[in-house]
Amino acid sequence: MSKPVVLIAEELSPATVEALGPDFEIRHTDGADRSALLPAIADVDAILVRSATKVDAEAIAAANNLKVIARAGVGLDNVDVKAATQAGVMVVNAPTSNITSAAELAVGLLLATARNIAPANQALKNGEWKRSKYTGVELYEKTIGIVGLGRIGALVAQRLAPFGTELIAYDPYVSTARAAQLGVRSVSLDELLRKSDFITVHLPKTPETAGLIGDQALTKVKPTVQIINAARGGIVDEHALAVALKEGRVAGAGVDVFASEPCTDSPLFEFESVVVTPHLGASTAEAQEKAGVSVAKSVRLALAGELVPDAVNVKGGAIAEDVRPGIPLAEKLGRIFTALAGGAAAQLDVEVRGEIAAHDVKVLELAALKGVFADVVEEQVSYVNAPVIAADRGVEVRLVTNEDSPDYRNVVTVRGVMADGRTVSISGTLSGPKHIEKIVEVLGHDIEAFPSEHMAFFQYVDRPGMVGTVGRILGEADINIAGMQVSRDTRGGHALVAMTVDQAIPAPAMDNIVEAIGAEWGRTVDLDD
């Protein structure tokens, strides 16, 4: 029997090939050369790439036998995940390969800005000895604000603690107790902005975090603050930062990532007090080797038909056929739960009821956890690291199963007890032979809604005219309502609206709805990525 063929389309470490082992036929090509890539991919079982090879719909269509696309790194901008999924091709990456490198770069940028290393280096190379001009500041006894206390943020905290700093952090999805274990005090974003001498950002890029450190935030900081962004471009508004630097409201910055990349022209480049690097967060020999070895192991698992923890789309492995259709539903429920909760759960239950509870449904717990953290942590979330992320954030997780399900053949519930005592829950089921996904419960309200790319939820005191008000405001914002369900506990009691819309609802429209109907709260959910 011939060996499975693995195509390596870019230069990877020797350890990557060693990790694949002798069970595969290894081929090489220049993935950046389309004329070489397309014929080379025609009959391979797997392809390993970094960032230069574009595995788009055309390349996937040219691959007659392709089963796995492996990206030796974190980002997947060069892989058409949707086209791969439609073709039944698994996509894997290495979600934790670069976290140490990224944390160390952030600390390096922070030190470089504190001590004016970059401009002093350039001046000296230009023949100028300017000791007094480049006087810096110590980190000792300074307050460092960490925006995002996920795995990278936690590593940054661990590395900065020995400098004798006071560490504070803003992350509503990390418990106060977990932050304290890291030697960090949890604070609001406003307090962090006001008190920090240095601010370092470690959040994912989402609609909620884009521009988080922007015009308004930069009016609250100390004029001596130094701001570091080695996370994602656009979380720190580059234009707003440049204006604040020019006006003397910010002292300096260290920037590794930009809203548009590659970036070779930015207003930030004009400032001697700004250290910039070309997205070097994962650019270490160690990170590249970890990434290659990680995806090589995933390729081995995938081609052997085993469960691949780092798969980002098609799930493989020994999962019961009755359980497998519930995986994407559980992940969606997790993402919606997080949007509804708006913060970290102290305890999280994933409850599976019905016939499928007779099988091993651990994968549904993992899928739900993957969804819970997908939009609130900086790193890529997978089946491997989702439980670790939960533990790191002080969230106690339980899988609860019961073969008795009085209302539905099978139902999955994600239920969390929040730090403030609230209970947040959402349940879903699959309907009919086509396994149509349905949401059947939200916060204790019976509902029947279909998960879609763009959703919104509101809770208010039941009274006439509210549905019309919501429709009017969305109409004025040119947002079309695809479906709406209203549920109430009692007449005149609490009413809950679950709504699907054709496009994302802008924040001003949401604010208008909440105010107009006197809603206790309103949340948007976007599942389009």
The answer to whether residue 529 scores a pLDDT higher than 90 is no
Domain 99-276: give its CATH code: 3.40.50.720
The answer to whether residue 407 scores a pLDDT higher than 80 is yes
Mean pLDDT of all residues in 269-278: 96
Measured CA to CA, the distance from residue 250 to residue 139 in angstroms comes to 17
Measured CA to CA, the distance from residue 354 to residue 277 in angstroms comes to 53
Which residues of the chain form CATH 3.40.50.720?
A: 1-94+285-309, 99-276
Joined together, the tokens standing for residue 411 give: 């139902």
Cα torsion 287, 288, 294, 297 to 10°: value is -150
Measured CA to CA, the distance from residue 308 to residue 502 in angstroms comes to 33
Q: Which amino acid is at 491?
A: R
- 261, 270, 306, 476: which one is catalytic? 261
Contact 240, 229 (CB under 8 A): no
The answer to whether residue 163 scores a pLDDT higher than 70 is yes
The question of whether 279 is a catalytic residue gets the answer yes
Which residues of the chain form CATH 3.30.1330.90?
A: 319-450
Q: Does domain 452-529 have CATH number 3.30.70.260?
A: yes
Q: Which amino acid is at 178?
A: R
Contact 252, 226 (CB under 8 A): yes
252 bridge partner residues = 226
Q: Give the residue, 323 or 243, on which the prediction is more confident.
A: 243
- 232, 300, 454, 523: which one is catalytic? 232
The answer to whether residue 380 scores a pLDDT higher than 80 is no
Tens of pLDDT, residues 229-247: 999 999 999 999 999 999 9
DSSP-assigned letter for residue 494: E
Residue 328: CB atoms within 10 Å: 17
Tens of pLDDT, residues 61-109: 999 999 999 999 887 889 998 888 778 788 999 888 889 999 999 999 9
The answer to whether residue 383 scores a pLDDT higher than 90 is no
Which residues neighbour 35 within 8 Å (Cβ) at sequence distance 6 or greater? none
The question of whether 261 is a catalytic residue gets the answer yes
DSSP-assigned letter for residue 192: H
Could you tell me the fold of the domain covering 319-450? 60s Ribosomal Protein L30; Chain: A; (3.30.1330)
Q: How confident is the model at residue 183, as a pLDDT?
A: 95
- 71, 279, 335, 353: which one is catalytic? 279
Measured CA to CA, the distance from residue 146 to residue 116 in angstroms comes to 21
SS (H, E, C) 98-149: CHHHHHHHHHHHHHHHHCCHHHHHHHHHCCCCCCCCCCCCCCCCCEEEEECC
> What's the predicted TM-score (pTM) here?
0.77
Measured CA to CA, the distance from residue 145 to residue 392 in angstroms comes to 19
Contact 1, 25 (CB under 8 A): no
The architecture that CATH gives domain 1-94+285-309 is 3-Layer(aba) Sandwich (3.40)
User: Confidence class of residue 317 from pLDDT cuts 50, 70 and 90?
Assistant: low
Which residues of the chain form CATH 3.30.70.260?
A: 452-529
